[in-house]
Structure 1
Amino acid sequence: MYKAPSKEVTDTRLDHVFFVLGGAAAVWLAFLLVGESFQLGWGQVWFYVVFWAFLAYLLLPRLHRILTTIYVPGYFIGRARTSDGLLGDPVNVALLGTEPQIHAIMRAAGWTKADDVTLGSSRRIISSTIFKRSYPEAPVSPLHLFDRQQDFAYQQEVDSNPGKRHHVRFWRCPEGWMLPGGHKVDWLAAGTYDRSVGLSLFTLQITHKIEQNTDVERDHIVRTVTAAEPAVSVHVIEDFSTGYHSRNGGGDSISTDGDLPIIDARQVPVPADQPTAQTDSRDRRPAPTMMGAALVVVRAVAALSLAVTLLTSSGELADITLGDAPADPQSTTAAVTFVAIIVLVFGLGEVFLAWRIFLGSNAARVIAMALSSVSIIVQAIDASTGATSITLEAGLAGLATDILVLLALSSQRARVYAKRQRVPAVPPTLTTRRA
């Protein structure tokens, strides 16, 4: 008997379609931008900065994400992933204990909790790095494990320079999950040392470059924690993972002996004023969601502006439309007004849609992606048949907005945030497998 696909399966397939379509549309936009660069000449430096930003932060990450979905294993292999799906830093520390106990041992060891990545914190770390000003709580870029970014991170700044720092990211393990070999742990962590700032080898993004020998940072974490808290004990799993350790997501070489220390903090007393609420990164509104909502607002503003123009100029448009034709001016004015009202309603609907996306509505996210997809496909058909020509002066801004909406809202972080209530406790692709 035929069984209809579940709503969850249908949503996943639809997300895959939007994801791939966003990648194809980004490639098309890149070709259009290259074509415009020949028209503008070499004097327009701003245009090449925009093109680099598009290439480094949108096109290459999406292409990497599509390819890594195919060839990178979906189960745990001892590596975190970047937002682009590339293999990131090695997971080199495991922990036992509650979240308050983890916070207690890290603070006692002299580590500072890193700020979340926001517009304000991003702006501050850029200025602090350029002018070499101290920023002890500087944010760290998101890495993913268990299909979500780190729950929190800690760091130690070196020489009051945010470009150099010890840092470690923490992920809470899913309920009932075990390490390969059957070891039960509550947390996994990835610790590395940032030695400088440079360009990613794979995406051309500005990023921190890490020290190659990640074991030095792993041992530094264990040493500082055990020295500060006598109640902590450590057990080491030797030769836990040695495969897939060549380069991280930024292209930096990494090496390790594969040992995995398990820090047991279950006997550590927790201060009475320590918050007990659990941190879950899926509850934090990600940048792609906010960006997608903002771009939908931009689209709404464009529609509302057009509606106002039509309403205030309907008489003049009627005269232009009529010319020498024997048409009724009142009928033409009424038609223009009707179109303006439709555009006005659409613009107001887009404002509501943007608000719902910002709040985390998955339905609103899907509707916005569908509208962008239809618009992109229609413009692609018109361009391929020669009906329209997309240039910087005509059509490129609107097309770019639709493509950016699709890229932002089809990203993994936006998808996980919109579906966070439906994410299973133990992702099926992360079932422990023995080597």
Structure 2
Amino acid sequence: MFKAPNRGVTDSRLDHGFFILGGAAAVWLAFLLVGESFHLGWGQVWFYFVFWAFLAYLLLPRLHRILTTIYVPGYFIGRARTSDGLLGDPVNVALLGSEPQIHKIMTAAGWTMADDVTFASSRRIVSSTIFRKSYSQAPVSPLYLFDRQQDFAYQQEVDNNPGKRHHVRFWRCPEGWMLPGGHKVDWLAAGTYDRSVGFSLFTLQITHKIEQNTDVERDHIVHTVSQAEPAVAVRVIEDFSTGYHTRNGGGDSISTDGDLPIVDARQVLVAPAQEPTQTDSRDRRPAPTIMGAALVVARALAALVLAITLLTSGGEVDGVSLDDGSSDPQSTMAAIVLVAGVVLVFGLGELFLAWRIFLGSNGARVIAMGLSSISILAQAIDYSTGTANLTFEAGLSGLASDILVLLALSSQRSRVYAKRQRVPAVPPSVLNRHVAS
């Protein structure tokens, strides 16, 4: 008897295919950009900035993500992961209590909730860092645990300098999940101290550099909370993990003794109206989704401009005309209108697609990735056969746009957001597995 394939499995295979194709296309684009650099000469500083941005924020993260999928465990090992899949900061605090209770003890202890990462907050932290202006709610980069980014984060700015701060990220534990050893907790947190701003060793991105001894920050978090709220109780699981010295996702050295304090805030009193509050980071529209939708809009506008140009120029675009002189003017005009109509419909369809992507439609995301993939593969065939030459003057910008759409929408953050209503709970039996010391 025929059995229809599981839709979740099919979606997963499609995502893996798009993800890998995006990585391969990014490598090809880097090759093309390097080739173009020889024609530009050494005086084009803007090009090297663009190439660094492409390398640091698109190509290297995608390559890391592909490789870490193979060799980094997907279960809990006491470390958060970066959006590139690299092992990030150590999970060094656990908590018991509701979300309002966690917010209350952190606020009482003098911590400030960090803003979400948006274009506005990113622009503000850049300007604040450059001009040394205070930004006490500066956003923190996303780290992942339980296959989702932190639900919220708190920080304490040092000397009104956003380049130096105490900060801690919080993740709500899945229902029924327990720490290795059978300890029940409601929240896990990773706290570190930002000492300066620099470049990531692994991706070359601009990022905060953290203090090596993460135990100092862990103890600072527990101390401030305990001093501010007498109802808070603390117990420590000694040697929860083996003490180690390694590097985090930015390449910074980190060390810890492996102890894990459990902060119990269940006796802290909060207003009854606050109790229903529950934050889920998967409900926030991520930057890659916004970027992917914006690129599809740009592609749609280009199609609309092309349609208008065809109608107003008699079918001639960039010196190429649809009129070969062999047809009568009436037939030629009919052909121009037909082509312009098809391009116009495509552009309007792309606008609708972009709107659905922005709203979080997984189907629209898959369709957009499919269209970009077809375009990339067609251009790759033309390039390999010598039919087309991709340069800054012809074709390269369109190819780059398709690759950027594929990279943005195939990212983990965009995928999780689009599937957020269908993300299955991770079985506790899987999450409770851990690597033996």
The verdict on a shared fold, with TM-score over 0.5 as the criterion, is yes
In structure 2, the CA distance between the partners of 1:128 and 1:430, relative to structure 1 (3 Å rule), is farther
Aligned twin of 1:219? 219
Paired with 1:425 and 1:303, the residues of 2 have a C-alpha distance of 42
Q: Which amino acid aligns with 1:369?
A: M
- Alpha carbons 1:236, 1:259 under 8 Å: kept: yes
Residue 28 of structure 1 and its aligned partner are, at CA, apart by 0.3
Residue 276 of structure 1 and its aligned partner are, at CA, apart by 3.4
Q: Which amino acid aligns with 2:137?
A: E
Paired with 2:254 and 2:2, the residues of 1 have a C-alpha distance of 50
- Alpha carbons 2:310, 2:316 under 8 Å: kept: no
Bigger drift between 423-432 and 257-266 goes to 423-432
Paired with 1:289 and 1:86, the residues of 2 have a C-alpha distance of 21
Q: Which amino acid aligns with 2:185?
A: V
- Alpha carbons 1:314, 1:337 under 8 Å: kept: no
Q: In the alignment, does 2:33 pair up with 1:33?
A: yes
Paired with 1:258 and 1:66, the residues of 2 have a C-alpha distance of 29
TM-score by length of 2: 0.96
Equivalent residues in 2 for 1:187-206, closer than 5 Å: 187-206=187-206
Paired with 2:359 and 2:111, the residues of 1 have a C-alpha distance of 33
Equivalent residues in 2 for 1:123-272, closer than 5 Å: 123-242=123-242, 245-271=245-271
Paired with 1:34 and 1:164, the residues of 2 have a C-alpha distance of 36
Q: Which amino acid aligns with 1:177?
A: W
Aligned twin of 2:287? 287
> What secondary structure, in the 3-state scheme, does the structure 2 residue paired with 1:246 have?
strand
- Alpha carbons 2:322, 2:336 under 8 Å: kept: no
Identical pairs, percent: 82
In structure 2, the CA distance between the partners of 1:48 and 1:107, relative to structure 1 (3 Å rule), is same
> What secondary structure, in the 3-state scheme, does the structure 2 residue paired with 1:29 have?
helix
Residue 320 of structure 1 and its aligned partner are, at CA, apart by 5.2
Residue 311 of structure 1 and its aligned partner are, at CA, apart by 1.1
> What secondary structure, in the 3-state scheme, does the structure 2 residue paired with 1:392 have?
coil
CA deviation digits over 1:112-159, x for unaligned, max 9? 000000001001111111111111100000000000000000000000
Aligned twin of 2:18? 18
Residue 277 of structure 1 and its aligned partner are, at CA, apart by 1.8
Q: Which amino acid aligns with 1:44?
A: Q
> What secondary structure, in the 3-state scheme, does the structure 2 residue paired with 1:73 have?
coil
> What secondary structure, in the 3-state scheme, does the structure 1 residue paired with 2:246 have?
coil
Give the unaligned 5+ runs of structure 2: none
Residue 425 of structure 1 and its aligned partner are, at CA, apart by 2.5
CA deviation digits over 1:168-199, x for unaligned, max 9? 00000000111111111000000000000000
Aligned twin of 2:412? 412
Q: In the alignment, does 2:278 pair up with 1:278?
A: yes
In structure 2, the CA distance between the partners of 1:316 and 1:293, relative to structure 1 (3 Å rule), is closer
Give the unaligned 5+ runs of structure 1: none
- Alpha carbons 1:158, 1:166 under 8 Å: kept: yes
Paired with 2:71 and 2:284, the residues of 1 have a C-alpha distance of 29
Aligned twin of 1:431? 431
CA deviation digits over 1:262-307, x for unaligned, max 9? 0000000013564732000000000000000000000001100100
Residue 3 of structure 1 and its aligned partner are, at CA, apart by 3.9
Q: Which amino acid aligns with 1:148?
A: R
> What secondary structure, in the 3-state scheme, does the structure 1 residue paired with 2:254 have?
coil
In structure 2, the CA distance between the partners of 1:405 and 1:170, relative to structure 1 (3 Å rule), is same
**Alignment root-mean-square deviation, CA:** 1.7
CA deviation digits over 1:322-344, x for unaligned, max 9? 56x54222112111110100000
Q: In the alignment, does 2:361 pair up with 1:361?
A: yes
Q: Which amino acid aligns with 2:196?
A: S
- Alpha carbons 1:75, 1:432 under 8 Å: kept: yes
Q: Which amino acid aligns with 1:233?
A: A
- Alpha carbons 1:146, 1:427 under 8 Å: kept: no
User: Between Structure 1 and Structure 2, how many residues are aligned?
Assistant: 434
